[in-house]
Chains A and B, each alone.
Chain A
Amino acid sequence: MTEFLNAIILLSNFVIIPALSYGSQLALGALGVTLVFGILRFANFAHGDLMAFGTMVTIFLTWWLQSLGVSFGPLPTALLALPAAIVITALFALLTDRLVYRYYRRIKAVPVVYIVASVGVMFVLNGLVRILIGTEDQLFSDGQKFIIHANDFKQMTGLSEGLSFKVTQGLTIALAVLVVAALFWFLQRTRTGKAMRAYSDNENLALFSGINPDRVVMVTWIIAASLATIAGVLYGLDKSFKPFIYFQLLLPIFAAAIVGGIGQPIGAIVGGYIVAFSEIASTYVYRKFLIYVMPESLEPTGMAQVLPTEYKFAVSFVLLVVVLLVRPTGIFRGKVL
């Protein structure tokens, strides 16, 4: 029995909890991509760098707050900086829309032109972030580190496996649930949210219903920028902030959005967790886990790992390709691109 409990704890500690928090981060990112796709109808290649921008703003504000001696008790100070950072990032997103994308809406450009434009925005954001904060790793998490420490857990339960639950992980999961609940309430219950869904569903009819497209687009950018900032900050708190990594996050995020069904908010969330679990579960070394659960005669001799750890990122791309092959609309039947 304790063997079995140990195995469960082991798996929770190294697979389930990390995947839940990483999955939440991806889900928030993918929600932003999927909303922009649903309303503006293009895949925004600049989303990863928008996350980096929002996180950078948060870090600057956090440093400023810390220099004033402000802290948030056991929670990271970055949370206090987050609202202002969201406002700044949203303003930036609106500015890019005004200067770049709006023109292409006016001339009714084909989607590929938007993508090229978003590549341009991606370059700009990329350079801007590197110029302002540099390329190095930035650790900006402060406050208490653990909700449950592995050693405390061992003492508490007497098991030989420890379970550690970091504050940033708990925060990520809790905040993701809150944000997603708020977003769904907004989309399902409010007049503006319904107008966004209507516009995404049938643009022409939305126009004939008097829905103002500029307003819908504006709200979409504000939400996408907020989600990007929150996702980026949570990822940065949980791991660390490095501009290049944020650019790389773009692909797992696209994978999440497409696996779930692009344009479908619920799909983005499910997709986020699927991608995260696949990445972590397929590169986890199951040796110890199998030793706990298997009878002694069947214990593995090797590492019992499906893929080497270096391929973690690649798992999401493979998932993406498989979904393209098998079911291009994704799980929740998103728009076929």
Chain B
Amino acid sequence: MTHRQRTIFAFSILAALLLFVGFGQSWSVALVIINLCLVSAVMALGLNLQWGYAGLFNAGVMGFAALGGVAAILVSHAPVEEAWSAGGGNLLIALGLFALTVAVGYIVHRRMAAGNARRLVMLGVILIGYWSFRGFFSDAVRAIESVDPVRTGFLGGLGMPIIFSWVVGGLFAAGVAWLIGRIALGLRADYFAIATLGISEIVVALLKNEDWLTRGPKNVSGLKRPVPYEVELQSSDWFIAAIERLHAGALSSAASAAERQDILAQFIISGSSIFVKLCYMGLFGTVLLIVLGLSVRALNSPWGRMMRAIRDREDAASAMGKNVIFRHRQIFILGSAIIGVAGAMLTTIDGQFTPGSYNPLRYSFLIWVMVIIGGSGNNLGAVLGGFLIWFFWIEAEPASLWVLGHAIAVLGDGSAIAQRMIDAAPHMRQLLMGLTLIMVLRFSPRGILPEYVRHIR
């Protein structure tokens, strides 16, 4: 099979699977899966940039996705005026002191010669800074968090359309990636992986516990959508008219006006839910196409060739005068920004930010599985992996329940073993995912769609 045929074949199978769910389960379910597949694919593209192009093992995808999620609140939630007036002043003072501490620390670090004296001064600066900052900060936090804690208890956001948060999420992630890059790039792969995993856990720990910013475990829900709400659609004339036209055949066969009205109401309800999902699909699909287009262009540009050269022969590239660390930082920031965008998209479609839901298995390692199984270094492979793995991650449970259902029918119902097996069904996906990863790594290490380099003849 040529490379092209292979790609078309793989995506056809994917489409068939999704159609199967659409016809078999419901279109609504299929669309939910597709939308999350789109988000996963964007994340996978971001990680593929880091791993596939540059060989960076970023185990901290979760942190960047969560930063995107925070951006969604900070951009779209209405500002909480009382909280700002209660604690805003102290908070700004605290942040100012923090910035001052960092600045003084930086100057000391630059100006003083390395040695014990500098260490001592640095320690002093940090301690003094910490204690002066801490007082204002905890006062501010206490004041903010006591403002109507059941409903708000945090500063809120800017009250802007949530779609802007996709950009802001990318910027947040890029900023943190810059910082991580300064710390951890240049270390060997194992260390880099552990460091990024650790930092992503720190990021999530902060988001879980800084209630003044994110409401922490109380979650922020009811984020404004970038697409219409179902209830709005159900009462808007143009939508009803469109549904009527779409289902004219079914409606005309109704026996009475009342029955027609009933059927129409049914169609409108299901239609509105599907319409909303289609809107999301349009938005997400656009983002995916933009990111994919840029990634493909980048990969085939001189820049992409240089990146692959650095990945494959780091020493040689460095000897040729390529600044490896700078290039790694660049691509790490780019990839993380894309993951941040996807994180914001995810919070957008959920309509809520739940810091407790971020766990490295689902948000870091699963994205890894997507990239490796899809085909590291191949953008279409990453997209395919994003779709395929998310599909299996979601469908593993119903599928194993279905299989178990038949098994139990044979074994006989009501046994303790049967119950145990039904309880176990949701965890089949970890097992299957692990086995798939191990098998692909062993027997097809370049993934379903291997890296493909266009050769200039």
Tell me if chains A and B make direct contact, with any CB pair below 8 A.
Answer: yes
- Give residues in A with beta carbon < 8 Å to B: 37, 42-43, 45, 99-100, 103, 110-113, 115-117, 119-128, 130-132, 134-135, 244, 247, 251, 254-255, 258, 302, 308, 310-311, 313-314, 316-318, 320-321, 324-325, 328, 336-337
Whether B201 and A116, one on each chain, are in contact in the complex, defined by CB atoms closer than 8 angstroms, is no
Query: Of A115, A120, A135, which is in contact with the most chain B CB atoms at under 10 Å from its CB?
Result: A120
Provide the residues of chain B in CB contact with A254, threshold 8 Å: 194, 198
Residue B372 CB within 8 A of the other chain = yes
Residue B98 CB within 8 A of the other chain = no
Residue B205 CB within 8 A of the other chain = yes
Contact flag A258-B201 (CB < 8 Å), given A124-B431, A324-B184: no
User: Nearest chain-B residue to A132 (Cβ)?
Assistant: B424
Q: Give the Cβ gap from A176 to chain B, nearest Cβ, in Å.
A: 24
Whether B368 and A119, one on each chain, are in contact in the complex, defined by CB atoms closer than 8 angstroms, is yes
Provide the residues of chain B in CB contact with A125, threshold 8 Å: 434
Residue B246 CB within 8 A of the other chain = no
Q: Give the Cβ gap from B209 to chain A, nearest Cβ, in Å.
A: 4
Whether A113 and B441, one on each chain, are in contact in the complex, defined by CB atoms closer than 8 angstroms, is yes
User: Nearest chain-B residue to A258 (Cβ)?
Assistant: B194
- Across the interface, B365 reaches (CB within 8 A) one of A119, A255, A317, namely A119
- Across the interface, B209 reaches (CB within 8 A) one of A42, A113, A308, A317, namely A308
Residue B423 CB within 8 A of the other chain = yes
Contact flag A134-B423 (CB < 8 Å), given A123-B365, A123-B433, A123-B437: yes
Chain A to chain B contacts (Cβ below 8 Å), 22 pairs:
A110-B189, A111-B190, A112-B57, A112-B189, A113-B445, A115-B189, A122-B365, A124-B438, A125-B434, A126-B361, A126-B427, A126-B430, A127-B427, A127-B429, A127-B433, A132-B424, A247-B360, A251-B194, A308-B209, A316-B198, A321-B183, A324-B183
Whether B195 and A121, one on each chain, are in contact in the complex, defined by CB atoms closer than 8 angstroms, is no
Q: Give the Cβ gap from B261 to chain A, nearest Cβ, in Å.
A: 47
Q: Give the Cβ gap from A335 to chain B, nearest Cβ, in Å.
A: 10
- Across the interface, B191 reaches (CB within 8 A) one of A100, A310, A337, namely A337
Provide the residues of chain A in CB contact with B194, threshold 8 Å: 43, 251, 254, 258, 320
Contact flag A324-B438 (CB < 8 Å), given A127-B428, A317-B201: no
Query: Of B360, B369, B434, which is in contact with the most chain A CB atoms at under 10 Å from its CB?
Result: B434
Provide the residues of chain B in CB contact with A45, threshold 8 Å: 193
Contact flag A127-B368 (CB < 8 Å), given A43-B193, A258-B194, A324-B187: no
- Give residues in B with beta carbon < 8 Å to A: 55, 57, 138, 183-184, 187-191, 193-195, 197-199, 201-202, 205-206, 208-209, 359-361, 365, 368-369, 372, 423-424, 427-435, 437-438, 441-442, 445
User: Nearest chain-B residue to A44 (Cβ)?
Assistant: B190
Which A-B residue pairs are the 8 nearest by beta carbons? A123-B434, A127-B430, A127-B431, A124-B434, A130-B427, A120-B437, A317-B198, A120-B438
Provide the residues of chain A in CB contact with B199, threshold 8 Å: 317, 321
Inter-chain CA distance A258–B198, complex, in Å, is: 12
Whether B431 and A131, one on each chain, are in contact in the complex, defined by CB atoms closer than 8 angstroms, is yes
User: Nearest chain-A residue to B216 (Cβ)?
Assistant: A310
Q: Give the Cβ gap from A106 to chain B, nearest Cβ, in Å.
A: 11
Inter-chain CA distance A112–B57, complex, in Å, is: 8
Provide the residues of chain A in CB contact with B55, threshold 8 Å: 112
- Across the interface, B188 reaches (CB within 8 A) one of A116, A121, A316, A337, namely A337
Inter-chain CA distance A133–B138, complex, in Å, is: 42
Inter-chain CA distance A45–B431, complex, in Å, is: 16
Whether A111 and B189, one on each chain, are in contact in the complex, defined by CB atoms closer than 8 angstroms, is yes
User: Nearest chain-B residue to A317 (Cβ)?
Assistant: B198
Provide the residues of chain B in CB contact with A128, threshold 8 Å: 431
Whether B193 and A117, one on each chain, are in contact in the complex, defined by CB atoms closer than 8 angstroms, is no
Given contacts A120-B434, A124-B431, A321-B202, list 12 more A-B pairs with CB under 8 A: A111-B189, A112-B55, A117-B441, A123-B431, A126-B361, A126-B430, A317-B199, A317-B202, A321-B198, A321-B199, A325-B183, A337-B188
Q: Give the Cβ gap from B253 to chain A, nearest Cβ, in Å.
A: 49
Query: Of B206, B423, B427, which is in contact with the most chain A CB atoms at under 10 Å from its CB?
Result: B427
Provide the residues of chain A in CB contact with B361, threshold 8 Å: 123, 126, 247
Inter-chain CA distance A112–B368, complex, in Å, is: 12
User: Nearest chain-A residue to B206 (Cβ)?
Assistant: A314
Contact flag A131-B428 (CB < 8 Å), given A122-B434, A123-B365: yes
User: Nearest chain-A residue to B141 (Cβ)?
Assistant: A308
Whether A119 and B423, one on each chain, are in contact in the complex, defined by CB atoms closer than 8 angstroms, is no
Whether B205 and A310, one on each chain, are in contact in the complex, defined by CB atoms closer than 8 angstroms, is yes
Q: Give the Cβ gap from A18 to chain B, nearest Cβ, in Å.
A: 20
Q: Give the Cβ gap from A262 to chain B, nearest Cβ, in Å.
A: 9
User: Nearest chain-B residue to A37 (Cβ)?
Assistant: B190
Provide the residues of chain B in CB contact with A43, threshold 8 Å: 190-191, 193-194
Inter-chain CA distance A255–B202, complex, in Å, is: 13
Whether A116 and B434, one on each chain, are in contact in the complex, defined by CB atoms closer than 8 angstroms, is no
Provide the residues of chain B in CB contact with A121, threshold 8 Å: 434, 438
Whether B198 and A115, one on each chain, are in contact in the complex, defined by CB atoms closer than 8 angstroms, is no
- Across the interface, B430 reaches (CB within 8 A) one of A42, A123, A337, namely A123
- Across the interface, B434 reaches (CB within 8 A) one of A113, A127, A321, namely A127
Whether B424 and A130, one on each chain, are in contact in the complex, defined by CB atoms closer than 8 angstroms, is yes
Inter-chain CA distance A115–B190, complex, in Å, is: 7
User: Nearest chain-A residue to B56 (Cβ)?
Assistant: A112
Q: Give the Cβ gap from B424 to chain A, nearest Cβ, in Å.
A: 4
- Across the interface, B193 reaches (CB within 8 A) one of A99, A115, A308, A328, namely A115
Inter-chain CA distance A99–B360, complex, in Å, is: 25
Provide the residues of chain B in CB contact with A110, threshold 8 Å: 189
Q: Give the Cβ gap from A67 to chain B, nearest Cβ, in Å.
A: 14
Provide the residues of chain B in CB contact with A302, threshold 8 Å: 138
Inter-chain CA distance A123–B364, complex, in Å, is: 12
Contact flag A314-B201 (CB < 8 Å), given A247-B361, A320-B194, A337-B191: yes
Q: Give the Cβ gap from B205 to chain A, nearest Cβ, in Å.
A: 4
Provide the residues of chain A in CB contact with B369, threshold 8 Å: 119, 123
- Across the interface, A320 reaches (CB within 8 A) one of B195, B209, B430, B438, namely B195
Inter-chain CA distance A111–B428, complex, in Å, is: 28
Inter-chain CA distance A122–B361, complex, in Å, is: 9
Whether A324 and B195, one on each chain, are in contact in the complex, defined by CB atoms closer than 8 angstroms, is yes
Q: Give the Cβ gap from A10 to chain B, nearest Cβ, in Å.
A: 23
- Across the interface, B190 reaches (CB within 8 A) one of A42, A124, A247, A318, namely A42
Inter-chain CA distance A98–B278, complex, in Å, is: 48
Contact flag A310-B209 (CB < 8 Å), given A113-B441, A123-B361: yes
Whether B198 and A320, one on each chain, are in contact in the complex, defined by CB atoms closer than 8 angstroms, is yes
Inter-chain CA distance A100–B434, complex, in Å, is: 12
Q: Give the Cβ gap from B420 to chain A, nearest Cβ, in Å.
A: 9
User: Nearest chain-B residue to A124 (Cβ)?
Assistant: B434
Whether A116 and B437, one on each chain, are in contact in the complex, defined by CB atoms closer than 8 angstroms, is yes
Provide the residues of chain A in CB contact with B445, threshold 8 Å: 113
- Across the interface, B437 reaches (CB within 8 A) one of A103, A119, A316, A320, namely A119
Contact flag A313-B201 (CB < 8 Å), given A127-B427, A127-B432: yes
Q: Give the Cβ gap from B430 to chain A, nearest Cβ, in Å.
A: 3
Query: Of A123, A125, A316, A317, which is in contact with the most chain B CB atoms at under 10 Å from its CB?
Result: A123
Inter-chain CA distance A180–B453, complex, in Å, is: 52
